């Protein structure tokens, strides 16, 4: 089983997408997730199918309870589907043992959460290295990589700060750097700007734009239209099913960026 080489989309296979030469970061088919409670069974996902080519930037939207977090947790190998298939590259997650899932989670997936989830006792550089601790990779090369990533997200002058000494936006940048330390397959972000003001939201989205421009696949959940409009594609869920799946035109993406920049300038002018 190859862990690193995502499969090429074949023109004969069922995963054929619009552009056959692009590899798929993930492919899901008829995915269902049921939570069995004492009194009832919650059908959180009721058969969702779609492909995400490498380099895509997908915003997942939908009302509260529509299954967004459930889907992200399955993509992130935090949980197993009830039925259906979920491929990361050529590996079928649905067939994996818990140990294999844990391995994939710690080596191939970057997570960014609304509440940052940093470890308060650790410095910026140490927080960025956390995913590597789990693999026992702690050499000087790893530390250098963490420092480069801190620099990359604009925190080169905050390497030894602790989370409490940073603003929300800075903490989220640490989380983004941490999500990249394993050179992950894709970055999953659950409402990454949900706690941030418009200026900081724009800063964080600029980092995502730059990462995606370099080819990084990004899948994020958001409630906000102006955040979703900056992605390349918007997938909407409703009642645990795929409701719509639309490409975002370049004009709309540019307009969203301009509108956000303008909102930031107006906010700064008021201060
Ligand atoms: N761990 C769980 N146990 C039981 N029900 C759950 C669990 N997680 C989510 N659900 C239920 O599954 C449905 C989808 O939830 P979720 O994926 O969190 O939606 P969203 O993120 O779109 O708000 C909801 O009805 C929710 O109550
Ligand atoms: Mg949610």
Q: Residues 41-78: pLDDT tens digits?
A: 999 999 999 999 999 999 999 999 999 999 999 999 99
pLDDT by residue (tens digit) across 197-242? 888 999 999 999 999 999 999 999 999 999 999 999 999 999 999 9
- For atom 13 of ligand 1, the residue with the nearest CA is 44
Which of 64, 70, 82, 237 to probe ligand 1 with, by most ligand atoms within 8 A of CB? 70
Residues in the ligand 1 pocket, defined by CB under 6 Å? 35, 37, 42, 44, 62, 64-70
70 CA → ligand 1 middle, Å? 6
pLDDT by residue (tens digit) across 4-23? 444 344 444 444 445 456 79
- CATH superfamily assigned to domain 24-270: P-loop containing nucleotide triphosphate hydrolases (3.40.50.300)
Yes or no: say if 249 and 229 are a contact pair by the CB < 8 Å rule: no
pTM: 0.88
- For atom 6 of ligand 1, the residue with the nearest CA is 35
What gap in Å lies between CA 198 and CA 7, rounded to an integer?
39
Q: Where are the domains of the chain?
A: 24-270
Strand 186-190 vs strand 109-113: parallel, antiparallel, or unpaired? parallel
- For atom 17 of ligand 1, the residue with the nearest CA is 67
Per-residue pLDDT at 102? 87
- For residue 11, give both structure tokens: 């023109």
């Amino acid at each position: 089983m190859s862990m690193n080489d995502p499969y090429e989309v074949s023109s004969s296979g069922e995963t054929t997408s619009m552009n056959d030469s692009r590899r798929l970061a993930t492919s899901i088919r008829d995915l269902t997730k049921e939570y069995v409670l004492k009194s009832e069974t919650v059908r959180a996902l009721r058969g969702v199918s779609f492909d995400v080519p490498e380099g895509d930037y997908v915003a997942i939207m939908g009302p509260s309870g529509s299954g967004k977090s459930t889907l992200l947790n399955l993509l992130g190998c935090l949980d197993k589907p009830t039925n259906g298939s979920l491929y990361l590259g050529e590996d079928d997650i649905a067939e994996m043992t818990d140990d294999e899932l844990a391995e994939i989670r710690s080596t191939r997936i970057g997570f960014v959460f609304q509440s940052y989830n940093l470890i308060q006792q650790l410095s910026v550089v140490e927080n960025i290295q956390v995913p590597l601790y789990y693999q026992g990779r702690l050499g000087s090369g790893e530390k250098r990589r963490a420092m480069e990533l801190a620099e990359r997200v604009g925190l080169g002058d905050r390497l030894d700060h602790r989370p409490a000494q940073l603003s929300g936006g800075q903490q989220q940048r640490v989380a983004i750097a941490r999500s990249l330390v394993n050179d992950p397959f894709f970055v999953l972000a659950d409402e990454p700007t949900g706690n941030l003001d418009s200026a900081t939201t724009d800063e964080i989205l600029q980092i995502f734009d730059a990462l995606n421009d370099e080819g990084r696949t990004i899948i994020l959940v958001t409630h906000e239209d102006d955040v979703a409009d900056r992605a390349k594609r918007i997938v909407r869920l409703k009642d645990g099913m795929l409701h719509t799946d639309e490409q975002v035109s370049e004009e709309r993406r540019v307009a969203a960026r301009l509108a956000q920049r303008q909102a930031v300038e107006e906010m700064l002018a008021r201060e």
